[in-house]
């Protein structure tokens, strides 16, 4: 009974703002200020959605964000998968030092690296390119620990017998390990994609050219100094929320599994 | 005797050499696997940390060439009133937001654990705000707290005839931002705590129930102690993330009114792009690193003791 009440309140609180934004996105901004408010837009106004694509490079923002997020996710799966396999199942000199260095760096706040990252990226001539949005996120070590936890759970005999059959380590990773930890890889991929899709501070710093920009920074650039077009911004926020929502519904199991905690139990 | 175990000295030597080469081959394979992450890690993580330290002893470098500054930036960091204000604001925000989202998240998780029908759909709905970009969440909340058309203000106006300037009043601005971040984070922590709750041993609860322990007693003497490993991770992770508060501040208040929502990350950004002073910004960043690492270490030490 109490539980049902708590959940009902939470659901209403979680969704009410979205409904209000949907309603706002179909209104002309000037009609927002009438009191009492019109909950259902009358007439229904599509101008905000049209303006996004005609007056602003919104199509570019959406495309850039989806492409960059997909590329980072793909690269990160390969990079983290290889590192995680080495740390979980290979025996080598200096393993402890590398694990410690990567683990400590999880605690380094990325906001603090903003200035040196900007200067390093600038000296590489990458400022104002999409590459600047792809390369630095690849350094994030968190995923290595997540995948390592999945690989460590596999029995050693499996890998030993594949080695006996003459398989190289790369073949073992691709043919034996990767298929077995597929659910874990999906969890990892959804997290990286969502993280990348929602990133704001680094793109804000690294790219000035609006046509190369991602959706979060793009939307924030829609705010003018004196008059803010709220109808336009609500339409933009809703479209921005759509791709992640679709991915979330497709991979909800992965999102809700939250294996993050297990990966860092050291 | 020795001749029986190894036929000659030469093969003993060969054995050793073979072992050496086997070891070298193992190392080579392992480092080949690690090469990509190490490369990016060194360039975009380790190098920036070192560079941060180096930059903190410099002036300029954006518009004018860099020059040596000695301890200027460090002196300024500890005497600049805004720096202290930013550190204070950031900690104030953490104290408002983290305990609130943990308590509410735990309540929602406990409720989700009980519910039988529609549990899957409920989880999806509750996780929905967490999924959105902080920037989008901040903009969406403008529609809740705006003095003219904000949903919250429309409600308050209907009830009292007054309106609250949530983001324009220096007393309300930071609590409002904390409220927005709690709203966004609630789903994440609720689901994380729920997965912790579902992993707890059922038989202990049955035994406690047989012994006549009520639900509240069971929660405080069974659930909370058993959940310690989850909390341990949660506290550290939440601290690292929340000390870097930037997106919603940048969108909603840009540090104002009268610097009441200026956070450390916001000041770092401003020192680079408004004041073109990377040296000072780097010093401030270093303070943030020290703050995060110190708090993480303190929490690890405090909680590790009790987890065991």
Task: Compute the distance between CA of residue B208 and CA of residue B224 in angstroms, rounded to an integer.
Answer: 14
Name chain B contacts of A255, Cβ cutoff 8 Å: 127, 131
B-contacting residues of A 201-220, CB under 8 Å?
A: 201, 204-205, 215-217, 219-220
Give which of A7, A173, A187 to mutate to test B binding, by max B Cβ within 10 Å: A7
pLDDT, residue A85, reads: 94
β-bridge mates for residue A113, sequence order:
none
Whether residues A83 and B34 touch (CB distance < 8 A) is answered with: yes
* A102, A114, A217 member nearest B268 (Cβ): A114
Using alpha carbons, select from B58, B116, B52, B74 the residue that is nearest to residue B289: B52
Contact B52 A105 (CB under 8 A): no
- Confidence at residue A35, expressed as pLDDT on a 0 to 100 scale: 63
- Identify from B135, B242, B301 which residue to disrupt to test chain A contact, counting A C-beta atoms within 10 A and taking the largest count: B135
Residue of A nearest to B285 (CA): A112
Q: What DSSP character marks residue B219?
A: I
Q: Test B292 with A21 for CB contact under 8 angstroms.
A: no
For residue B257, give the DSSP letter. Answer: S
CB of A107 less than 8 A from some CB of B: yes
Question: Which residues in chain B have Cβ-Cβ distances shorter than 8 Å to A17?
Answer: 140-141, 143-144, 151
Q: 């409920």: which residue's tokens?
A: B122
Which regions of chain B are under pLDDT 70? Answer: 1-10, 61-64, 305-308
Q: How many residues does chain A have?
A: 266
What was the pLDDT predicted at A263?
45
Please list every residue in chain A whose beta carbon sits closer than 8 Å to the beta carbon of residue B271: 115
Residues contacting residue A209 through CB under 8 Å, at least 6 positions apart: A128
- pLDDT (tens digit per residue) in B85-140: 999 999 999 999 999 999 999 999 999 988 877 778 888 889 889 988 998 899 88
- Which residues does chain B have within 8 Å of residue A109's beta carbon, measured at their own beta carbons? 240, 243-244, 265, 288-289, 292
Note whether A11 contacts B125, CB cutoff 8 Å: yes
**Is B199 in contact with B228 (CB distance < 8 Å)?**
no
Give the separation between CA A30 and CA B284, rounded to whole angstroms.
Answer: 42
Is the separation of the CB atoms in A263 and A148 below 8 Å? yes
Q: Determine the 3-state secondary structure of B67 from DSSP.
A: strand
Neighbours of B59 (CB within 10 A): 18
Chain B 70-99, residues with CB within 8 Å of chain A CB atoms: none
Among the listed residues A95, A78, A74, A75, the one whose alpha carbon sits nearest the alpha carbon of residue A86 = A95
pLDDT of the residue at B2: 45
Are A79 and B151 within 8 A, CB to CB?
Answer: no
Note whether B136 contacts A240, CB cutoff 8 Å.
yes
CA distance B47 to A192: 23
Give the ranges where chain B is alpha helix by DSSP (H): 2-5, 9-41, 47-55, 72-79, 81-114, 119-131, 134-145, 151-160, 173-198, 202-210, 215-218, 224-226, 228-242, 247-252, 264-273, 278-307
Is B122 near chain A, with CB under 8 Å?
A: yes
pTM of the model: 0.87
**pLDDT, position B63:** 66
Q: Give dist(CA A7, CA B111) in Å, integer.
A: 7
In whole angstroms, give the CA distance from residue A230 to residue B278: 34
CA distance readout (Å), A164 to A159, A168, B19, B276: 9, 10, 18, 60
CA distance A19 to A11: 12
- Partner-chain contact B124 A248, CB within 8 Å: yes
Residue in chain A nearest B196 by alpha carbon: A261
pLDDT digits (tens, 9 = 90+) for B45-64: 999 999 888 888 877 766 66
Of B111, B120, B143, the CB nearest to A20: B143
Sequential pLDDT tens for chain A (266 residues): 788 889 989 998 888 888 888 888 888 777 766 666 666 776 778 878 888 888 889 999 999 999 999 999 999 999 999 999 999 988 888 899 999 999 888 888 888 999 999 999 999 999 999 999 999 999 999 889 989 988 988 888 888 998 888 888 889 999 889 999 888 898 889 889 999 999 999 999 999 888 999 999 999 888 865 667 888 888 999 999 999 888 888 887 776 665 444 444 44
What pLDDT, on the 0 to 100 scale, is given for residue A27?
82
- Rounded to the nearest 10 degrees, the angle between the axes of helix B278-307 and helix B81-114 is 40
Out of A18, A107, A219, closest to residue B292 by CB: A107
Query: Which chain B residue shows the shortest CA-CA distance from A124?
Result: B43
| Angle formed at CA B150 by CA B148 and CA B153, multiple of 5 degrees | 80
| Gyration radius from chain B CA atoms | 27
Cis peptide upstream of residue B27 (ω within 30 degrees of 0): no
Closest chain B C-alpha to A101 CA, distance in angstroms: 9
Nearest Cα to Cα of residue A219 among A242, A202, A236: A236
CB proximity A22 to B under 8 Å: no
Binary contact (B47, A197; C-beta < 8 A):
no
Residue A97 near chain B (CB below 8 Å) = no
Predicted ipTM of the assembly: 0.87
CA–CA separation, B221 and A144 (whole Å): 36
Residue A107 distance to chain B (closest CA, Å): 6
Closest chain B residue by Cα to residue A169: B29
């Amino acid at each position: 009974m109490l539980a049902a009440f708590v959940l009902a309140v939470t659901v209403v609180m979680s969704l009410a703002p979205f409904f209000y934004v949907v309603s706002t996105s179909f209104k002309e901004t000037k009609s927002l200020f009438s009191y009492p408010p019109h909950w259902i837009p009358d007439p229904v106004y599509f101008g905000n959605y049209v303006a996004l694509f005609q007056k602003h490079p919104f199509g570019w923002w959406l495309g850039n964000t989806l492409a960059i997020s997909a590329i980072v996710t793909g690269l990160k799966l390969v990079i983290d998968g290889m590192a995680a396999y080495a740390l979980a199942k290979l025996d080598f000199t200096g393993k402890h030092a590398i694990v410690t260095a990567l683990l400590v760096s999880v605690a380094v706040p990325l906001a603090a690296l903003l200035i040196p990252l900007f200067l390093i990226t600038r000296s590489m001539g990458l400022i104002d390119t999409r590459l600047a949005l792809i390369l630095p996120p690849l350094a994030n070590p968190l995923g290595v620990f997540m995948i390592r936890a999945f690989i460590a759970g596999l029995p050693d005999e499996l890998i030993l017998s594949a080695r006996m059959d003459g398989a190289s380590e790369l073949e073992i990773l691709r043919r034996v390990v990767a298929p077995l930890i597929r659910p874990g890889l999906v969890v990892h991929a959804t997290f990286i994609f969502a993280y990348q899709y929602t990133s704001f501070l680094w793109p804000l710093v690294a790219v000035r050219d609006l046509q190369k920009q991602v959706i979060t920074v793009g939307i924030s650039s829609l705010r003018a100094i004196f008059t803010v077009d709220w109808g336009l911004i609500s339409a933009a926020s809703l479209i921005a929320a759509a791709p992640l929502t679709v991915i979330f519904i497709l991979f909800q199991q992965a999102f809700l599994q939250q294996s993050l905690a297990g990966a860092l139990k050291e | 005797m020795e001749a029986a175990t190894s036929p000659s000295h030469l093969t003993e030597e060969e054995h050793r050499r073979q072992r050496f080469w086997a070891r070298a081959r193992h190392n080579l394979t392992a480092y080949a696997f690690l090469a990509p992450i190490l490369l990016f890690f060194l360039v975009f993580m380790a190098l920036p940390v070192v560079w941060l330290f180096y930059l903190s002893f410099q002036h300029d470098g954006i518009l004018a060439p860099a020059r040596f500054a000695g301890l200027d930036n460090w002196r300024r960091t500890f005497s600049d009133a805004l720096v202290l204000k930013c550190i204070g604001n950031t900690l104030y925000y953490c104290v408002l937001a983290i305990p609130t989202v943990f308590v509410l998240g735990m309540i929602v998780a406990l409720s989700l654990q009980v519910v039988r029908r529609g549990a899957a759909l409920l989880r999806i709905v509750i996780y929905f705000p967490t999924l959105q970009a902080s920037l989008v969440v901040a903009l969406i909340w403008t529609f809740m707290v705006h003095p003219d058309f904000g949903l919250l203000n429309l409600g308050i106006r209907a009830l009292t005839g007054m309106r609250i300037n949530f983001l324009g009043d220096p007393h309300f601005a930071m609590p409002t931002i904390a409220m927005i971040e709690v709203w966004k984070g609630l789903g994440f922590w609720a689901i994380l705590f729920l997965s912790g709750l579902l992993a707890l041993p059922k038989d202990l609860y049955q035994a406690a129930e047989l012994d006549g322990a009520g639900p509240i007693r069971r929660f405080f003497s069974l659930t909370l102690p058993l959940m310690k490993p989850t909390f341990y991770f949660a506290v550290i992770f939440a601290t690292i993330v929340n000390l870097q508060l930037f997106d919603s501040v940048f969108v909603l208040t840009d540090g104002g009114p009268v610097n009441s929502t200026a956070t450390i990350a916001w000041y770092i950004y401003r020192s680079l792009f408004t004041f073109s002073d990377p040296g000072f910004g780097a010093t401030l960043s270093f303070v943030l690193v020290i703050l995060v690492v110190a708090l993480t270490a303190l929490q690890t030490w405090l909680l590790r003791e009790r987890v065991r």
